[in-house]
């Protein structure tokens, strides 16, 4: 069982690599935001929404590559007036990095390469299919949460 | 077997997808749940749409019923040309709400949309992946009967939950969402569907 905070540590290293890197989000390929780290804690963006778009855009580009038979997608970069977004494959997930416009692109690519290698292994374990039945004893609290949610759904 | 999707805070996420033909009421249904249904904690409403307001890729809203349980709710773009986008959004779906358009003119579109969904999801649809049907636009003049639509969709003898909805008025929409989310949790907890 991996420590969930391992993701925060790995993403934290990316954000610390350069002052132009503002935010780092790890998503899976279903749109789930697994973890995120920001340079500024006061940042109030809708991270779940950004993660969902990042995952969908990356996966759509992958689909485009498959349709055109041009191989695996390594990285997507989007340039805006006031910032850049980079998204790179890391096994079963996508690492998304948001930067200032004047960021050193070579450095970002290098940092992301290192991070994606680290995250790939973590994600492989984290996203492995784990039936609830098989982990029932250690997942008592999860089961209780699910049952509580069921009760709440009856109320609204 | 069912799997659990977690984030780094240990919250459990379930992905629900509103699917159906173009202009059938998917976004309107989700928007109603987002704007008017109380009792759920909701995040931002993310929408990728064209200048006319039609869904170009997807809508997305995270909702929480209780503590660490989150529903990541998506709609897909219904237009035929967006089929690759729909396939992307369906990845990892835990449950599907099929929003059929009751208008007689949409008969074939309903059939084709459900067939596309079946082609993507496979035999697990309605079994491992819960499916709920919303027959939307029940108030239009040329609305087909419930029986006729279900027969068209080859669901007349199915135990899949069916709700008649009018999304623009919010009728039936909450119940359809509630049933789907409940089915998904029951599936995760006990591997069963409720009887209908």
For A29-82, list the strands marked E by DSSP: 33-38, 75-80
A74 domain residue, yes or no = yes
How, if at all, do strands B55-66 and A21-28 pair?
A: unpaired
Cα B90 from chain centroid (whole Å): 11
- What's residue B6's pLDDT? 85
Which domain CATH number covers A40? 3.30.450.30
Interface contact B2-A132, CB threshold 8 A: yes
Rounded mean pLDDT, A1-16: 85
A152 domain residue, yes or no = no
Percent of chain A with pLDDT over 70: 89
Which residue range(s) make up the domain with A93? 5-130
Rounded mean pLDDT, B72-95: 95
Which distant-in-sequence residues (6+ apart) come within 8 Å of B130 by Cβ?
Answer: B94, B95, B96, B180, B183, B184, B187, B193
How many domains, chain A? 1
Rounded mean pLDDT, B53-70: 91
Interface contact A32-B62, CB threshold 8 A: no
How many other C-beta atoms are found inside a 10 Å radius of the C-beta of residue A149?
Answer: 25
A26 domain residue, yes or no = yes
Interface contact B58-A56, CB threshold 8 A: yes
Phi-psi region of B20 (alpha: psi -120 to 50; beta: other; left: phi over 0): left
DSSP secondary structure of chain B: ----EE-TT--EEEEEEEE-STTSSHHHHHHHHHHH--S-EE---EEEE-TTS-EEEEEEEEEEEETTEEEEEEEE--SGGGHHHHHHHHTT-SEEEEEEE-BGGGHHHHHHHHHHHHHHHGGGBTTTB-EEEEEE-TTSTTBPPHHHHHHHTT-TT--S-EEE-BGGGTBTHHHHHHHHHHHHHHHHHHS-----
- What's residue B5's pLDDT? 85
Range with the lowest mean pLDDT among A132-146, B4-18, B103-117? A132-146
As for the ipTM of the complex, it is: 0.81
Provide the residue ranges of all domains of chain B, joining segments of one domain with +: 5-189
A155 domain residue, yes or no = no
Query: Is A33 an interface residue toward B (CB < 8 Å)?
Result: yes
Query: Is A60 an interface residue toward B (CB < 8 Å)?
Result: yes
CATH architecture classification, B5-189: 3-Layer(aba) Sandwich (3.40)
Give A33-47 pLDDT, tens digit per residue.
Answer: 999 999 887 667 889
Q: How near does any CA of chain B get to the CA of A153, in Å?
A: 6
Chain B's closest residue to A148, CA to CA, is B66
A150 domain residue, yes or no = no
Contacts of A78 in chain B (CB under 8 A): none
- What's residue B28's pLDDT? 97
Chain B's closest residue to A3, CA to CA, is B8
């Amino acid at each position: 069982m991996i420590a969930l905070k391992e993701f925060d540590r790995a993403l934290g290293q990316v954000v610390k690599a350069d002052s132009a890197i503002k935010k780092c989000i790890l998503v899976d390929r279903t749109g789930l935001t697994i973890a995120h780290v920001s340079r500024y804690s006061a940042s109030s963006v809708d991270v779940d929404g950004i993660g969902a778009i990042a995952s969908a855009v990356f996966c759509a580009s992958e689909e485009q590559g498959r349709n055109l038979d041009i191989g695996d997608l390594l990285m997507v970069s989007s340039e805006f007036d006031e910032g850049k977004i980079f998204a790179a494959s890391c096994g079963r997930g996508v690492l998304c990095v948001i930067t200032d416009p004047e960021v050193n692109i070579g450095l970002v690519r290098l940092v992301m390469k290192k991070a994606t290698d680290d995250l790939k292994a973590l994600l492989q374990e984290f996203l492995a299919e784990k039936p609830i039945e098989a982990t029932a004893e250690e997942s008592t609290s999860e089961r209780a949460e699910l049952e509580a949610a069921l009760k709440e759904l009856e109320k609204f | 077997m069912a799997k659990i999707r977690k984030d780094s805070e240990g919250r459990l996420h379930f992905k629900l997808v509103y699917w159906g033909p173009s202009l059938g009421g998917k976004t309107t249904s989700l928007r109603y749940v987002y704007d008017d249904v109380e009792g759920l904690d909701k995040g931002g409403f993310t929408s990728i749409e064209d200048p006319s307001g039609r869904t170009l890729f997807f809508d997305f809203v995270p909702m929480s019923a209780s503590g660490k349980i989150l529903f990541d709710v998506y709609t897909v773009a219904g237009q035929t040309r967006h089929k690759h986008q729909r396939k992307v959004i369906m990845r990892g779906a835990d449950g599907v709400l099929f929003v059929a358009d009751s208008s007689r003119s949409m008969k074939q579109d309903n059939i084709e949309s459900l067939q596309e969904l079946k082609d993507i999801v496979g035999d697990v649809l309605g079994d491992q992946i819960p499916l709920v049907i919303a027959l939307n636009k029940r108030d239009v003049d040329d609305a087909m009967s419930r029986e006729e639509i279900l027969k068209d969709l080859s669901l007349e003898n199915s135990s899949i939950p069916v709700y008649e909805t009018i999304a623009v008025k919010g009728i039936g929409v909450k119940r359809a969402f509630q049933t789907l989310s409940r089915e998904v949790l029951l599936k995760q907890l006990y591997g069963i569907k409720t009887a209908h």
